[in-house]
Amino acid sequence: MPLRLDITSEEDTASAADTLERETGSEGLTGLVNNAGIVVPGPLEFIPIDAFRQQIEVNVVAQLAVTQAFMPALRRARGRVVFIGSISGLFALPLAGAYAASKYALEAVSDALRMELRAFGMPVVIIEPGQIHTPIWETSLARGDELYRNAPPELETYYGGPLRGLRRRVKRGMRALPADRVAQVVERALTVRSPRARYIVGAEARLRAILKKVLPDSTRDAIVAKALARL
């Protein structure tokens, strides 16, 4: 039963929850996958605050709102909740600070909710992919172009080179891992008896997770700066 909704709309979310209640009845909902997300790219110095708020609203606040709305149905089935996070929620990169902030926040939401629902036998999982081929890359390019058009000239002075490099990286991201790699992990998280708290997807994501754990901040920053210079 497909439902179309704007997850940032309280009315849409409530209507979807009501429809779900009628359709599932006493059986409830066995699983909820929070998959919506946007990317607001660019240096934090120049990202419009309204755009930053939208980044947090879509990627964090709306995820919790949907989860709250569907919680009665999830409780009846002792269902589980899956969040689609990102390795950027563990390892932030320059020029993607707004997106990383939203994914770091989603990590906290997932951790707290997992512990809160543990006593009720309701698993909560977060999946942390690296670069995955989805339409988010095309939309992030469009958002970046809009930022560039409306930004003051200092944006080009301070960040022009890195931003052009980021654009090339984003275009390469369109040839990243296929989305079905993540879908396979989502299926596992929804069906195994005891799912992990988190699943890292892709070699790039695993490498970034390792670097985050083993390297001091200064060394990691230097590696990222060199990689950015080569873009």
Whole-prediction pTM: 0.91
- Write out pLDDT tens, residues 31-56: 999 998 999 999 999 999 999 999 99
171 pLDDT more than 70? no
Q: Which of 31, 41, 38 is nearest to 60 (CA)?
A: 38
- Write out pLDDT tens, residues 56-95: 999 999 999 999 999 999 999 999 999 999 999 999 999 9
189 pLDDT more than 90? yes
Strand order across the 198-201 sheet: 31-34, 80-84, 124-129, 198-201
User: Position 67: which residue type?
Assistant: T
User: Position 24: which residue type?
Assistant: T
| Catalytic residue flag (residue 159) | no
CATH of domain 29-229: 3.40.50.720
Is there a contact between 155 and 148 (Cβ–Cβ < 8 Å)?
yes
Find the DSSP H helices in 43-178. 49-56, 62-77, 97-117, 136-150, 154-173
Catalytic residue among 99, 148, 159, 199: 99
State the pLDDT at residue 162.
85
- Write out pLDDT tens, residues 113-162: 999 999 999 999 999 999 887 777 777 777 777 777 888 999 889 998 88
State the pLDDT at residue 174.
56
Supply the mean pLDDT for the chain: 91
User: Position 203: which residue type?
Assistant: A
Contacts (Cβ under 8 Å, ≥6 apart) of 158: 43, 45
106 pLDDT more than 90? yes
Contacts (Cβ under 8 Å, ≥6 apart) of 86: 99, 100, 103, 128, 129, 130
